[in-house]
Amino acid sequence: MSSRSHPMPGLINDEHVLHRISGELARKFEGVFSPEMVDRYVFESYTALARTAKIKTYLASITKHFAEDRLDALAHAQGIRPSGKPEVLFVCVQNAGRSQMAAGLLKQYTEGRINVRSAGSMPAEHLNHNVIHSMSELGIDLGAEFPKPLTDDVVRAADVVITMGCGDTCPIYPGKRYEDWQVEDPADLDPAGVARVRNELAERIRTLATELLGE
């Protein structure tokens, strides 16, 4: 059933913005996906994000980024618009700490040579503040990042799926590399502990990047 049949709180106020976003993304994906499919992805993405968002101020704007990334992932997975790069997905339950740190480190280390995503099965409202501060010490700004729900399209797009030792599970598809990194949860740690986790992830990330890029 369409999310518009029974609007969520706030949806009526954002609906015109979401239709504008759908139009913008429909132009970007012209010849790849139909406007109707793009519209469905935009409203589904909004609904998924709204389940955990307590503050709705930026919900429409992050919906655009989330829906666009999902459509990019789907186009790659279907071979319609392949990225030409290795694709890595980091997963943890809340997508507020370990998976965000790993994604930020891999993005910085590979400078765009690998497409990186992160997601969670039960995303939190916002990123862990100690995580944001710890990453900023390395010049990595996670301030604009947000916890994202795990969707099938990003799993299908990934070449490598890495869970973060939190018991999360992902759909299993042939031909993908699955790993589980046993890493402490930053939510339970003080700033020094978060820095320790960050440094451990950085070592793992360097090894992963070397393997994927053949360096």
* Strand arrangement, sheet containing 87-91: 115-119, 87-91, 160-163, 177-180
Residue 10 is given by DSSP the state T
pLDDT tens-digit map of 86-112: 999 999 999 999 999 999 999 999 999
Calpha distance 25→164 (Å, rounded): 32
Residue 187: name the closest of 209, 205, 169, 164 by CA: 164
Mean pLDDT (whole number) for 27-47: 97
Tell me if 120 sits within 8 A of 96, measured CB to CB: yes
Tell me if 177 sits within 8 A of 159, measured CB to CB: yes
State the average pLDDT for the chain.
90
Tokens in use for 78? 């279907």
pLDDT tens-digit map of 18-36: 999 999 999 999 999 999 9
pLDDT tens-digit map of 51-76: 877 656 788 889 999 999 999 999 99
Q: What is the pLDDT of residue 168?
A: 60
Residue 212 is given by DSSP the state H
pTM: 0.89
State yes or no: pLDDT of 209 exceeds 80.
yes
Place of tokens 């935009």: 42
Calpha distance 7→50 (Å, rounded): 11
State yes or no: pLDDT of 12 exceeds 60.
no
pLDDT tens-digit map of 152-197: 999 999 999 999 876 666 677 788 999 999 999 999 899 999 999 9
Residue 103: name the closest of 113, 92, 120, 90 by CA: 90
Calpha distance 130→101 (Å, rounded): 11
